[in-house]
Chain A
Amino acid sequence: MSWFDKFTEKSLRRVAQSSSRRGFLRGIGAVLVGSAASAPLLPVARADNHSASAPKEEGDPTQCEYWRYCATDGFLCTCCGGTYNSCPPGTEMSPITWIGTCQNPTDGRNYIISYNDCCGKGPCGACLCIRDEGDRPIYRSDKTNDYNWCLGTQSAVYHCSVARVVGLAVE
Chain B
Amino acid sequence: MFRFCSGLILCLLATAGFAQDRTHFNYILYCQGCHTADGVGAENAVPRLKDQVGYFLQVEGGREYLVQVPGSATSALNDKDLTAVLNWMVQEFAGESLSSNARPYTEKEVAMLRKTPLKELVKHREALVLSIASELKKVIK
Which residues on A sit within 8 Å (CB–CB) of B134? none
Is B32 a contact partner of A170 (Cβ separation < 8 A)?
no
Chain B minimum-CB-distance residue to A140: B76
Cβ-defined partner of A101 (8 Å) among B21, B29, B33, B42: B29
Which residues on A sit within 8 Å (CB–CB) of B22? 170
Contact-residue size bin, chain B (C-beta under 8 Å from the other chain): 20 to 34
Chain B minimum-CB-distance residue to A98: B33
Is B25 a contact partner of A112 (Cβ separation < 8 A)?
yes
Is B21 a contact partner of A170 (Cβ separation < 8 A)?
yes
Is A96 a contact partner of B34 (Cβ separation < 8 A)?
yes
Shortest CB-to-CB span from A22 to chain B, Å, is: 50
Is B28 a contact partner of A112 (Cβ separation < 8 A)?
yes
Is B25 a contact partner of A167 (Cβ separation < 8 A)?
yes
Residue among B33, B41, B46 with the highest chain A CB neighbour number at 10 A: B33
Cβ-defined partner of A114 (8 Å) among B18, B25, B33, B45: B33
Residue A103 interfacial (CB < 8 Å): no
Which residues on A sit within 8 Å (CB–CB) of B29? 99-101, 112
Q: How many angstroms from the CA of A78 to the CA of B41 in the assembled complex?
A: 27
Q: How many angstroms from the CA of A152 to the CA of B48 in the assembled complex?
A: 12
Residue B37 interfacial (CB < 8 Å): yes
Shortest CB-to-CB span from A152 to chain B, Å, is: 3
With A151-B42, A152-B43, A152-B44 known as contacts, the answer to whether A99 contacts B25 (CB < 8 A) is: no
Is A152 a contact partner of B46 (Cβ separation < 8 A)?
yes
Residue A81 interfacial (CB < 8 Å): no
Residue B105 interfacial (CB < 8 Å): no
Cβ-defined partner of B71 (8 Å) among A100, A114, A142, A143: A142
Residue B87 interfacial (CB < 8 Å): no
Residue A85 interfacial (CB < 8 Å): no
Which residues on B sit within 8 Å (CB–CB) of A167? 25, 28
Is A99 a contact partner of B36 (Cβ separation < 8 A)?
no
Which residues on B sit within 8 Å (CB–CB) of A166? 28, 32, 37
11 additional A-B pairs beyond A142-B33, A151-B42, A152-B42, beta carbons within 8 Å, are: A97-B33, A114-B32, A140-B76, A142-B71, A143-B76, A152-B41, A152-B43, A152-B46, A166-B32, A167-B28, A170-B22
27 interchain pairs (CB within 8 A)? Answer: A95-B36, A95-B42, A96-B33, A96-B34, A96-B36, A96-B45, A99-B28, A99-B32, A99-B33, A101-B29, A112-B29, A114-B32, A140-B76, A142-B31, A142-B34, A142-B71, A142-B75, A151-B42, A151-B45, A151-B46, A152-B43, A152-B45, A166-B28, A166-B32, A167-B28, A169-B25, A170-B18
